[in-house]
Amino acid sequence: MATVIDGKAVAQTIRSEIADEVRLLSQKYGKVPGLAVVIVGNRKDSESYVKTKRKACADLGINSFDIDLPEEVSEAEVIRHVHELNANPDVHGILVQLPLPKHINEEKVLTEISLAKDVDGFHPLNIGKLAMKGRDPLFLPCTPKACLELLSRSGVSIKGKRAVVVGRSNIVGLPASLLLLKADATVTIVHSQTSQSDTESIIREADIVIAAAGQAKMIKGSWIKPGAAVIDVGTNSVDDPTRKSGYRLVGDVDFEEASKVAGWITPVPGGVGPMTVTMLLKNTLEGAKRNIEQNN
Ligand SMILES: Nc1nc2c(c(=O)[nH]1)N[C@@H](CN(C=O)c1ccc(C(=O)N[C@@H](CCC(=O)O)C(=O)O)cc1)CN2
């Protein structure tokens, strides 16, 4: 039976470490970290993530700057807000909640965020540095960073291991594969154009599986190598008439099956999700420390 990695508990430990550092910063310099959270439109999932992020800031003594824009806002107006936040000395991190409405070019907006405030790590230059040997981005994207932090805090070594990343999104799959490569794993990415038989056989050989495909329970227990570490990034909602909400969240991995074979596994919910928000807070603290210490 696998060790279930409790992302909520790990996140709680890291959050109290962050709160301590925020207090120290405030005592020493009279300044606290500031995070600007920009949301466009009324997607229910995005609103819920943003609410979680703002509450987490409040809990840890981080100032949150709320920019809520209507669905029909122009790209130029979003960029104007980003420029204003870039120039605000009390803002140490800026995140634009994704996805943006279709009429707004995500890449254009993300490129306008000051590199020193890019706490989501999505700026093309930060991603570019992640892809280069011997270069380090100023910030690592939060979900991939959360995956590696969970592996490291569970005592799973990465160097020399075979790792597979399922999915190649800009937010998770691609940066997670680059991060594993930087940590000296032998990395394969499987994606929507990989054949079913290749997908299965590559996963069967992997010591570490990072699942970020966005397909409920697509990875079966029989595909998992005995003893492998399985990190499930998927948050897929499936109908569940027994619940008041009418739905429940499941991962990309069939947890019941895979937990019988794996060495370590993250649950959904309560695995990578809470750690994603915690890594955002950690990045904000790091950005604030760099900025405040430089200017004092
Ligand atoms: N600018 C960004 N946009 C998006 C990101 C991101 O990192 N930066 N990631 C996702 C959404 N996301 C954060 O924004 C996110 C997803 C899931 C969770 C989470 O805690 N999930 C919980 C379950 C929550 C629930 O019950 O509904 C869990 O897995 O336990 C946090 C953040 C896309 N956009």
Q: Which residue has a Cα nearest atom 18 of ligand 1?
A: 273
Beta strands in the chain (DSSP E): 3-4, 34-40, 63-69, 93-96, 162-166, 186-190, 208-211, 229-232, 236-239, 247-250, 264-265
pLDDT band at 140 (very low <50, low <70, confident <90, very high): very high
Provide the whole-model pTM: 0.95
User: Which whole number is the average pLDDT over 126-138?
Assistant: 95
Instruction: Give pLDDT tens digits for 198-253.
Output: 999 999 999 999 999 999 999 999 999 999 999 999 999 999 999 999 999 999 99
**Choice from 235, 253, 279 to test ligand 1 binding pocket (greatest atom count within 8 A of CB):** 235
Which pLDDT does position 131 carry in this prediction? 96
Which pLDDT does position 203 carry in this prediction? 98
User: Which whole number is the average pLDDT over 2-15?
Assistant: 98
User: Which whole number is the average pLDDT over 29-44?
Assistant: 97
User: What distance in Å separates the CA atoms of residue 292 and residue 169, rounded to the nearest whole number?
Assistant: 33
pLDDT band at 143 (very low <50, low <70, confident <90, very high): very high
Same domain, 178 and 254: yes
CATH number at residue 259: 3.40.50.720
User: Which whole number is the average pLDDT over 18-33?
Assistant: 97
**Choice from 276, 280, 282 to test ligand 1 binding pocket (greatest atom count within 8 A of CB):** 276
Q: Over 90: is that where the pLDDT of 296 sits? A: no
Same domain, 85 and 155: no
Contact 172, 140 (CB under 8 A): no
Q: Over 90: is that where the pLDDT of 254 sits? A: yes
Contact 143, 176 (CB under 8 A): yes
**45 falls within a domain:** yes
Classify 57 as helix, strand or coil.
helix
Same domain, 109 and 161: no
**257 falls within a domain:** yes
Same domain, 103 and 148: no
pLDDT band at 155 (very low <50, low <70, confident <90, very high): very high
Share of the chain above pLDDT 70, in %: 100
Tokens 């597979």 label which residue? 164
**248 falls within a domain:** yes
246 in the Ramachandran plot: left (φ > 0), alpha (ψ -120 to 50) or beta?
left
Ligand 1 pocket member 269 (CB < 6 A): yes
Same domain, 56 and 167: no
Asked if ipTM goes beyond 0.90, one says yes
Same domain, 175 and 59: no
Which pLDDT does position 279 carry in this prediction? 98
Residue 137, class by beta-carbon neighbours within 10 Å (0-12 exposed, 13-18 middle, 19+ buried)? buried
Tell me, in angstroms, the distance from the centre of ligand 1 to residue 54's CA.
13
CATH number at residue 73: 3.40.50.10860
The residue among 296 and 247 whose pLDDT is bigger is 247
Classify 85 as helix, strand or coil.
helix
Sign, Cα dihedral of 121, 278, 269, 237: negative
User: Which whole number is the average pLDDT over 64-70?
Assistant: 98
Q: Phi and psi dihedrals of 189, rounded to 5?
A: -110, 130
- Of 231, 272, 227, 238, nearest in space to 255 by CA: 231
215-233: b (≥16 Cβ within 10 Å) or e = ebbbbebebbbeebbbbbb
Q: Which domain holds residue 245?
A: 142-273
Same domain, 202 and 91: no
Tell me, in angstroms, the distance from the centre of ligand 1 to residue 28's CA.
33
User: Which whole number is the average pLDDT over 45-65?
Assistant: 97
Q: Over 90: is that where the pLDDT of 174 sits? A: yes
Q: Phi and psi dihedrals of 40, rounded to 5?
A: -115, 125
Mean pLDDT estimate for the chain: 97
Tell me, in angstroms, the distance from the centre of ligand 1 to residue 273's CA.
6
- The number of distinct structural domains making up the chain is 2
**135 falls within a domain:** no
Same domain, 185 and 235: yes
Same domain, 110 and 168: no
